[in-house]
Amino acid sequence: MTMRLSSDQVQAIRSAAQRVLGAGAHISVRRHGALTLALGDRKIDIILKDANTPPAPIFEIARRTGVPP
């Protein structure tokens, strides 16, 4: 599968995430790109949470109803 993002764009996203979230940050861009290719151009929500993000209702809803990675 190919993504709609260039390798430079992917690297820029990784760098920004690691700079903000730390060296161990995992990026969901590839997953989103793969889902878009598999399902077509539709809205896909990927919920990201780091250890410092306070709990919010969306995280509990995603945990109950979402599809884990």
- The predicted pLDDT at position 3 comes to 52
Whole-number Å distance between alpha carbons of 17 and 26: 8
pTM of the model: 0.41
Question: Would you say 47 and 62 are in contact if contact means Cβ atoms under 8 Å apart?
Answer: yes
Q: For residue 12, what are its two tokens?
A: 């820029």
- The predicted pLDDT at position 26 comes to 64
All structural domains of the chain with their residue ranges = 7-65
User: pLDDT truncated to tens, each residue of the chain (69 aa)?
Assistant: 445 667 787 778 778 777 877 777 666 766 677 777 777 777 777 777 778 888 889 888 888 887 665
- The predicted pLDDT at position 2 comes to 45
